[in-house]
């Protein structure tokens, strides 16, 4: 098989995988944490064994969907952080971007973070913690890298940036999860309150010389 044939086959496989993930998205939007491999296979017009061939099991499908949505969210968060605005505005915009994303697609959020809701563990003993924890860790590491690149935190800056990155992600996740479930206040009020909590040291620290700023 020549290189052109291999490339064509890879493109075809990638396109088919995207189509299956889009079908899975439609089912997740409809069914949330109760989305099943049977329903996703039916939506895609294939049999369940074919779905397993592409993703292995529900854990493999979850991981692919998680990467798809996390990539998109991280792109949006970076755009908010890099917007031409004052630092306080960018902090609030970043918090709002995360909260707006989970508010816009709550079923997707619940599938990713609470797939065992309602006492349903899922196919083959699917374990939420095994898959959702790496999702939050990835977001924490990437936000920490952004902070380290943009702020002059002095000695030990790399470690401090990682601490802040994981701390901010943990705060956004915990507060957002509570807020999405109870809706105790408008999103804008939650954004302002969380920004107030973060603002003390963020307001005082300077940007890195020659860096993109924060």
* pLDDT higher than threshold 60 for residue 160: yes
Contact (Cβ atoms closer than 8 angstroms) between residue 144 and residue 166: yes
Q: Kindly give, in sequence order, each residue whose CB lies less than 8 Å from that of residue 108, ignoring residues fewer than 6 positions away.
A: 25, 28, 29, 32, 69
At 26-74, the pLDDT tens digits run: 999 898 888 888 999 999 999 988 888 888 887 888 888 888 888 899 8
* pLDDT higher than threshold 60 for residue 138: yes
The answer to pTM > 0.85 is no
Per DSSP (E only), the strands in the chain are: 151-152, 206-207
| Ramachandran assignment for 211, one of left (phi > 0), alpha (psi -120 to 50 degrees), beta (any other) | beta
**How far apart, in whole angstroms, are the C-alpha atoms of residue 173 and residue 184?**
16
Contact (Cβ atoms closer than 8 angstroms) between residue 183 and residue 102: no
**Structural tokens at position 86:** 């004052």
- Better-scored residue on pLDDT, 119 or 198: 198
What does DSSP assign to residue 205? Answer: S
**Burial annotation 166-185 (CB, 10 A radius, 16+ → b, else e):** bebbeebbebbeebbeeeee
Q: Which CATH number fits domain 3-207: 1.10.3210.10, 1.10.357.10, 1.20.120.450, 3.90.190.20?
A: 1.10.357.10
Q: Supply the pLDDT for residue 116.
A: 58
Exposed / middle / buried, residue 107 (Cβ in 10 Å: 0-12, 13-18, 19+): middle
What residue ranges do the domains of the chain occupy? Answer: 3-207
3-state DSSP call for residue 162? helix
Q: Supply the pLDDT for residue 59.
A: 82
**Structural tokens at position 18:** 């995207």
Matching residue, tokens 């800056």: 157
Mean pLDDT, residues 65-89 taken together: 89
Beta bridge partners of 206: 152
């Amino acid at each position: 098989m020549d290189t052109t044939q291999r490339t064509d086959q890879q493109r075809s496989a990638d396109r088919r995988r995207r189509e299956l993930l889009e079908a899975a998205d439609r089912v997740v939007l409809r069914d949330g944490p109760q989305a099943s491999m049977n329903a996703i296979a039916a939506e895609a017009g294939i049999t369940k064994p074919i779905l397993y061939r592409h993703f292995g099991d529900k854990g493999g499908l979850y991981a692919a969907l998680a990467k798809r949505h996390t990539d998109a969210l991280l792109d949006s968060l970076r755009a908010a952080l890099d917007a031409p605005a004052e630092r306080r505005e960018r902090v609030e915009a970043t918090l709002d971007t995360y909260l707006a994303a989970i508010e816009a697609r709550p079923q997707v959020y619940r599938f990713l973070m609470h797939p065992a809701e309602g006492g349903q563990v899922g196919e083959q003993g699917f374990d939420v913690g095994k898959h959702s924890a790496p999702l939050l860790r990835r977001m924490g590491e990437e936000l920490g890298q952004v902070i380290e690149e943009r702020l002059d935190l002095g000695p030990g800056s790399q470690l401090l940036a990682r601490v802040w990155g994981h701390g901010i992600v943990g705060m956004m996740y915990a507060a957002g999860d509570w807020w999405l479930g109870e809706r105790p206040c408008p999103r804008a009020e939650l954004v302002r309150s969380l920004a107030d909590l973060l603002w003390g040291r963020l307001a005082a620290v300077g940007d890195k010389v020659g860096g993109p700023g924060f």
